[in-house]
């Protein structure tokens, strides 16, 4: 028998996949030209590419962003998470009203003298207990409806992380205002909700929308705040002011170094709020001979 000269039919080796050497590969990657088997073929604009070239190409693709620099939001998950946390907190509160509200409601004296700092945030996730009577149920219903109505739009405009920062700083702003100006125990997400009202106005102005409806919304709620007994105007207005300030930082940050400016601005607001609590005494001091009756909590 005589061997066939190189290059004649039947003598060339069948190419194999560079990732799976035991598999035949009759297709080459359009970018690197390495042979790839069917399992490694990735659709490209022309032909197929290998997994490594696809991953490398994705690195150079600009990720979708929200209007003001945050990541694009397909579903407002932060809004839904906040709704769930508030509702779950109210469920737990309903089961053990005295213990939960007394331990976690916002009250200036406990923050100042017992250093129960968590009250500055936890009070914003509680609401008037059913056992307090009056408009107790409407308290959480209105706040959750407002969060459901305007939260998703703001989250899509700002991005999830920035929206969460806005919500929490607004809640903290409301608590700090209560700390400085009120002796009454306070519960409710209203400070955060009013912060979203303020943000809705600022975002609308920045985008050139007609914001007269938002002005009416804010005005009506401010009137309600001062006309219905048992409402903490301090928490409402504190949240409104901080929400407007934080949203202004987020939407008016210059395009250059926008992320750094936005997060530095939010950090500055946080530091100012913390300093106000640490350096300033509460406006009215409470008597600490016992835990206040939760029936007197404001929203």
Q: Average pLDDT for residues 215-233, to the nearest whole number?
A: 90
DSSP state of 71: B
Find the Cα–Cα–Cα–Cα dihedral 187, 191, 193, 194, rounded to 10°: 140
What is the radius of gyration, based on Cα positions, of the chain?
29
Higher pLDDT, 275 or 60: 275
Q: Locate all alpha helices (DSSP H) within 182-232, ordered by sequence.
A: 190-206, 212-227
Query: Is residue 130 very low, low, confident or very high in pLDDT (cuts 50, 70, 90)?
Result: low
**Residue 32 lies inside a defined structural domain of this protein:** no
Report yes or no on 44 lying in a domain: no
Closest to 251 in 3D by CA, of 205, 196, 187: 205
Work out the average pLDDT over 273-278.
95
**Four-residue CA torsion sign, 287, 288, 293, 294:** positive
pLDDT in tens, 89-112: 999 988 887 788 889 999 998 998
Tokens of 265: 């601005």
Q: Tell whether 59 is covered by a domain.
A: no
Identify which of 174, 183, 179, 297 has the alpha carbon closest to the alpha carbon of residue 236.
Answer: 174
Among all residues, which ones are annotated catalytic?
190, 236
Q: Residue 286 pLDDT > 90, yes or no?
A: no
Banded pLDDT at 237 (limits 50, 70, 90): very high
> Model confidence over 197-223: pLDDT tens digits?
999 999 999 999 999 999 999 999 999
| pLDDT at residue 51 in the model | 86
For 126, the enclosing helix (H) or strand (E) is none
- Strand 42-43 and strand 48-49: the pairing is antiparallel
Q: What's the CATH code of the domain at 260?
A: 1.20.1540.10
Tell which residue, 160, 166, 235, has the closest CA to residue 201. Answer: 166
The pLDDT of residue 12 is: 56
- Averaged pLDDT for residues 64-82: 87
pLDDT of 173 above 60: yes
Its domain, for residue 82, covers: 77-296
- Domains in the chain, number: 1
Q: What is the pLDDT of residue 8?
A: 47
CA distances from 231 to 102, 110, 147, 284 (A): 18, 20, 19, 17
Q: What is the pLDDT of residue 293?
A: 41
pLDDT at 60: 55
For residues 219-229, give the mean pLDDT: 90
> Residue 287: its pLDDT value, please?
43
**Do the domain assignments include residue 250?**
yes
Candidate ranges 41-45, 191-195, 232-236; pick with highest mean pLDDT: 191-195
> Does some domain include residue 40?
no
- Grade residue 56 by pLDDT with cuts at 50, 70 and 90: confident
Average pLDDT of 122-131? 84
Q: Pick the residue with more confidence: 71 or 111?
A: 111
The answer to whether position 46 is within a domain reads no
Q: Would you say residue 270 lies in a domain?
A: yes
pLDDT of amino acid 83: 97
Task: Note the pLDDT tens digit of each residue in 16-37.
Answer: 888 888 888 888 888 888 888 8
Q: How confident is the model at residue 59 (pLDDT cuts 50, 70, 90)?
A: low
Length of the chain as a residue count: 299
Looking at every residue in the chain, the average pLDDT score rounds to 85
pTM (2 decimals)? 0.76
Asked whether residue 42 is assigned to any structural domain, the reply reads: no
């Amino acid at each position: 028998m005589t061997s066939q000269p190189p290059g004649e039919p039947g003598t060339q080796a069948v190419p194999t996949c560079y990732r799976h050497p035991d598999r035949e590969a009759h297709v080459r990657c359009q970018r690197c030209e390495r042979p790839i088997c069917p399992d490694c073929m990735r659709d490209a604009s022309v032909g197929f590419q290998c997994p490594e070239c696809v991953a490398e190409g994705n690195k150079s693709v600009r990720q979708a962003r929200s209007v003001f620099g945050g990541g694009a939001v397909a579903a407002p998950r932060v809004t839904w998470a906040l709704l769930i946390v508030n509702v779950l907190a109210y469920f737990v509160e309903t089961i053990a009203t005295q213990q939960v509200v007394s331990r976690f409601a916002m009250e200036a004296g406990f923050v100042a003298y017992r250093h129960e700092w968590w009250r500055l945030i936890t009070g914003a996730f509680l609401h008037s207990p059913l056992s307090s009577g009056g408009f107790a149920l409407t308290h959480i219903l209105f706040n959750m409806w407002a969060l459901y109505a305007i939260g998703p739009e703001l989250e899509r405009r700002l991005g999830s992380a920035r929206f969460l920062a806005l919500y929490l700083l607004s809640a903290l702003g409301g608590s700090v205002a209560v700390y400085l100006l009120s002796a009454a125990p306070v519960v409710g997400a209203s400070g955060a909700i009013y912060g979203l009202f303020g943000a809705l106005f600022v975002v609308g102005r920045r985008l050139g929308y007609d914001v007269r409806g938002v002005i009416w919304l804010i005005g009506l709620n401010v009137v309600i705040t001062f006309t219905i007994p048992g409402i903490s105007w301090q928490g409402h207005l504190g949240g409104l002011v901080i929400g407007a300030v934080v949203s202004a930082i987020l939407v008016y940050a210059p395009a250059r170094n926008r992320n750094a400016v936005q997060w530095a601005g939010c950090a500055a607001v946080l530091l100012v709020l913390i300093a106000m609590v640490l350096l300033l005494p509460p406006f009215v001091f409470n008597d600490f001979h016992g835990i206040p009756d939760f029936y007197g909590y404001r929203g």
